[in-house]
Amino acid sequence: MSKPNLPTQLLDVASIHEGQKRIAAYVHRTPLIRSSTLSDELGAEIHLKLECLQKTGSFKPRGAFNKLLTMSDAQRSAGVVGVSGGNHAQGVAYAARALGVHATICMPASTPKNYLDATRGYGAEIVLADDIRAAFAACVELENQGMSVIHPFDDHAVAAGQGTVALEILEALPQLSRIYISIGGGGLIAGMATALKAANPEIRVIGVETEGADAMARSIAAQDLIELPAITSIARTLGAPKVSEMTYQHVRQRVDELVVVSDQETIEAMTFLLERTKTLVEPAAACCLAAARRQQPTIDKDETVALLMCGGNVSAADLAKWA
């Protein structure tokens, strides 16, 4: 896919505030709840931002709407194309249908049936490819035929749309001192970190990945973009094999720390959230609780902490398998 303009330019917070106004009529303002159980366990004020209750079950429509609404009429008329084996597919499909735009999503053949069914249900045309790399190649071909690309993370408008989650958290928790945000390709944390650090540079922004889906942590450690040979984690929606220069630079400059947790820690956190808070989340969200638990000794009792529950798209079959 073609690179967005100025790929290493960092986002400015004004673009996120503009995005919030632009997409307000199309997305939910999701709940932010205090968990007394987790506050007692971790010894601080713990709040859950429930983006798992967003339209399509994840934060992805925010970026998709912001991108579509900043496109020209001609670009929208050409139709849009995206690549995803997860939540981005549904986000683009939903936003495109809401705005009357034809959407095609290139997806790897390994995509779970519930994701395929949901994406078709939102009206998108699906092109199946052998794997994620072949899906990206199919997307390039459709772009060359004139369609407009909505990249899952390597796009300033998409990242700015995702960053609107942080504005909602800040409005409700101006005293926020620490936040855990999961990383797939990095668009979400790029946008959110921009908004958070603009509001208060002292907020500790912690990125979270799972073992086997840790392209960003490996890239930061190597000081270069590292491509994973395969995604081996259960956190499929963190399954970007390689982050972009744009998201890498945002993490390098605006994120304080990265934590990589195991699938087992993630499953334990997911089970706890379902049983004790009655919140169904996917591994890409539960890993944030796993990271906070791992770091509990470093969390001061007077801190106000947010855990981003970025999505809740998990099948009953997977839940049964992991339990």
Same domain, 184 and 127: no
Same domain, 110 and 251: no
The reply to whether 8 falls in a domain is: no
Same domain, 100 and 230: no
**What's the pLDDT at 6?**
42
Which residue, of 122, 149, 176, is where some domain finishes? Answer: 149
Number of domains in the chain: 2
Residues in CB range of 224: below 8 A, 6 or more apart: none
Same domain, 297 and 191: yes
The reply to whether 5 falls in a domain is: no
Instruction: Give 258's strand partners.
Output: 207
Same domain, 17 and 124: no
Q: What is the CATH number of the domain that holds 70?
A: 3.40.50.1100
Residues in CB range of 72: below 8 A, 6 or more apart: none
Same domain, 36 and 120: no
The reply to whether 190 falls in a domain is: yes
pLDDT in tens, 40-55: 999 999 999 999 999 9
The reply to whether 282 falls in a domain is: yes
The reply to whether 121 falls in a domain is: yes
The reply to whether 72 falls in a domain is: yes
pLDDT in tens, 202-230: 999 999 999 999 999 999 999 999 999 98
pLDDT class for 85, splitting at 50, 70, 90?
confident
Whether the per-residue pLDDT at 1 is higher than 50: the answer is no
Same domain, 124 and 141: yes
Domain that holds residue 65: 61-149
Which residue, of 113, 129, 149, is where some domain finishes? Answer: 149
The reply to whether 137 falls in a domain is: yes
pLDDT class for 5, splitting at 50, 70, 90?
very low
Q: What is the mean pLDDT of the chain?
A: 95
**What's the pLDDT at 2?**
38
Which residue, of 149, 181, 213, is where some domain finishes? Answer: 149
pLDDT in tens, 87-107: 999 999 999 999 999 999 999
The reply to whether 6 falls in a domain is: no
Instruction: Please state, in angstroms and rounded to a whole number, the distance separating the CA atoms of residues 175 and 184.
Output: 27
Instruction: Please state, in angstroms and rounded to a whole number, the distance separating the CA atoms of residues 132 and 110.
Output: 9
Mean of the pLDDT values across residues 277-299? 98
Mean of the pLDDT values across residues 19-34? 98
Strands across the sheet containing 257-261: 32-34, 45-50, 304-309, 178-182, 204-210, 257-261
**What's the pLDDT at 227?**
95
Same domain, 138 and 246: no
Same domain, 193 and 100: no
DSSP class of 92: H
Same domain, 159 and 47: yes
**What's the pLDDT at 123?**
95
